[in-house]
Amino acid sequence: MTHYHSSAHNMREVIQTVRAFAAKELAPYADELDREERLAPGIFKRLGDLGILGLTVNEEFGGAQMGALAVVAVMEELSYACPGTCLSYLAHSLLFVHNLCQNGSEEQLAKYIPRAVSGEIVGGMAMTEPNVGSDAIGMTTRAVKQEDHYLLNGSKMFISNGPIGDVFLVYARTGEGRQDLSTFIVERDFPGFFVGKKLSKMGMRSSPTGELVFTNCKVPLENLVGEEGFAVKHMMKNLDIERVGLAAMSLGIARACLDNSLKYAQERLQFSQHIINFQSVSDKIANMYIGYRAARALIYEAAQVIDEGRRANQEAAAAKVFASEMATKVALDAIQVFGGYGYIREFPVERLMRDAKLLEIGGGTSEILRNIIVKEFTRKNGK
């Protein structure tokens, strides 16, 4: 397993290693994985060997002890090759691994993190429910304490890695107050845990997504993370890095669209000249680059704030809104540059457009994130 340390030199080493891996092991299969709606075989073991499943994890648990900047760089490289694979990687490495490291006990970390970092077990996080999306705190899944365990009842929806995961961080209600939510580590083979249907999606199809159902699911007391009623704090701690990670996926998608469009426009002849010589095409390509660079600056700035140990609520929200909307627009423009070829499945840009759209929805919709940005202003002004 490769080990990294956080310095500029090592950052370059990580990016080069991941870029080479993604180009060889993911990019050539991305269309096939999309078509067949499946994860690349053995991918978590291979990402574990690469040393990137625990980028933010302490070395004692096998991690690389790096920060948000490393996360952002890796997410962009993986998404450039195959966004769906990157989404599953994000659900495992940020929503499960990083989240548990922030909030779990020494015993819990020792039990799960080394195996998660090596890729032996695959993790995910279960927050969203069939009727509860943006209003996460309104969830209805409930955990009731018995003598030596909790009984968990409810269901979770749109869970990345749901169909394949071995262990999940599950949020459930443990009291009557709106904020009385707790975090539990739930293993796939706990009695009363069922994997519901695998969902067929518009994009990100190489990332398995599904429903999880808990019917009197027995969760040992020691699998409560932190204290009862602390889940909202746990969620908040993880949101900034999750959002910059998702935003960085948009960067990978936008850069892939730009590169594809540039190559095509320099080869495609119409009216006896390459279409890049037509201003209507060259303007689109210039705008792709401008959007990509602007989003990149916002994302890296937000990652820097996180690495300095400060809350990046507004910065991360702004980065994700801008980057995700930019990537969807860039992908649509790329299809236009390709013309008829852009609309058929033989060329990657239609897949990239389908993948891009998810990032305006998952991990906080653009609408909610705009609300958050404004709420932060009013909070700061005490209004």
**Catalytic center residues:** 242
368: helix, coil or strand? helix
Secondary structure tally for the chain: helices H, strands E: 12, 10
Question: Beta-carbon neighbour count of residue 13 at 10 Å?
Answer: 14
Location of structure tokens 């409810």: 154
Nearest partner of 2 among 71, 75, 51, 62, judged by Cα:
51
Q: Phi first, then psi: give them for residue 329, nearest 5 degrees.
A: -65, -45
Encode 353-366: b = buried (16+ Cβ within 10 Å), e = exposed.
bbbbbbbbebbbbb
Contact 211, 169 (CB under 8 A): no
Task: Give, in order, the Cα–Cα distances in Å from 245 to each of 76, 204, 234, 304.
Answer: 8, 15, 17, 13
Is residue 146 within 8 Å of residue 77, measured between CB atoms? no
CB atoms within 10 A of CB 370: 14
Q: Is-contact 245 89, C-beta < 8 A?
A: no
Please provide residue 26's backbone torsions phi and psi, each rounded to the nearest 5 degrees: -120, -55
